[in-house]
Chain A
Amino acid sequence: QVQLQQSGPGLVKPSQTLSLTCVISGDSVSSNSAAWHWIRQSPSRGLEWLGRTYYRSKWYNDYAVSVKSRITINPDTSKNQFSLQLNSVTPEDTAVYSCARGHHHAFDIWGQGTLVTVSS
């Protein structure tokens, strides 16, 4: 049974970096058939795809245009996890952030979600 467990702070100050980690159990971050995504959800923006990392003989990343200049998603094969870093956050980045497994062009497994509030 595949599970994703998220961790990270729920409060980040404006202009600082939001950092979250997603630990994978029951699958591998290096899987050749899955991708590992970050998605956020807020009342004002709805659901928003942020980016993904995946392995197909080498590592690839794709990012949403809206955050491309500020986002990094990194795999960590030693800990079987992947992370999200979002720089220079503003209150508009306040949202529930979720990691998810991508399989068959869909998100079939989700983390529990982390409410991240950007406030001083």
Chain B
Amino acid sequence: QSALTQPASVSGSPGQSITISCTGTSSDVGFYNYVSWYQQHPGKAPKLLIYDVSNRPSGVSTRFSGSKSDNTASLTISGLQAGDEADYYCTSYTSSSTLVVFGGGTKLTVL
């Protein structure tokens, strides 16, 4: 059981927007502004999409955006494209004895 809770799957049609939630606790998501999001295609390494809740690394599309409210972080993908079909993971630093915790992942299907 992962420390951060994500929906197992979400879906949307091309051009639509979707949001993936990531729920933690006051020891991780609610405590630090150190939430990051990753995209992983099958057989590939994860790719960083968002760091520090809402910052995009250079080269990442502006269609990806992040936010946080209390103990829940969110990733929004706008203008869905077929290539967005992948697994998405959130992470957060935590004040527990393990530095970093992950979400269980969300499979995005583009209909």
B89-111 contacts to A, CB under 8 A, are 89, 91, 93, 97-102, 104-105
- On chain A, the residues within 8 Å of B98 by CB distance are 49, 64-66
> Is the pair B91, A106 in contact by a Cβ cutoff of 8 Å?
yes
Of all chain B residues, which has the CB nearest A37?
Answer: B100
Contact of B31 with A by CB under 8 A: no
- On chain A, the residues within 8 Å of B102 by CB distance are 46-49
The listed residue (A66, A98, A105) touching B36 by CB distance below 8 A is A105
Known contacts A46-B2, A46-B104, A48-B102; A105 and B38 CB within 8 A of each other? no
Chain B residues within 8 Å of A, Cβ to Cβ? 2, 32, 34, 36, 38, 45-48, 51-52, 55, 57, 89, 91, 93, 97-102, 104-105
Chain A residues within 8 Å of B, Cβ to Cβ? 46-49, 52, 62, 64-66, 98, 104-108, 110-113
Please give 11 more A-B residue pairs, beta carbons under 8 A apart, in addition to A52-B99, A66-B98, A107-B38. A46-B102, A47-B89, A49-B98, A105-B36, A105-B52, A106-B48, A106-B52, A107-B46, A107-B48, A110-B45, A113-B45
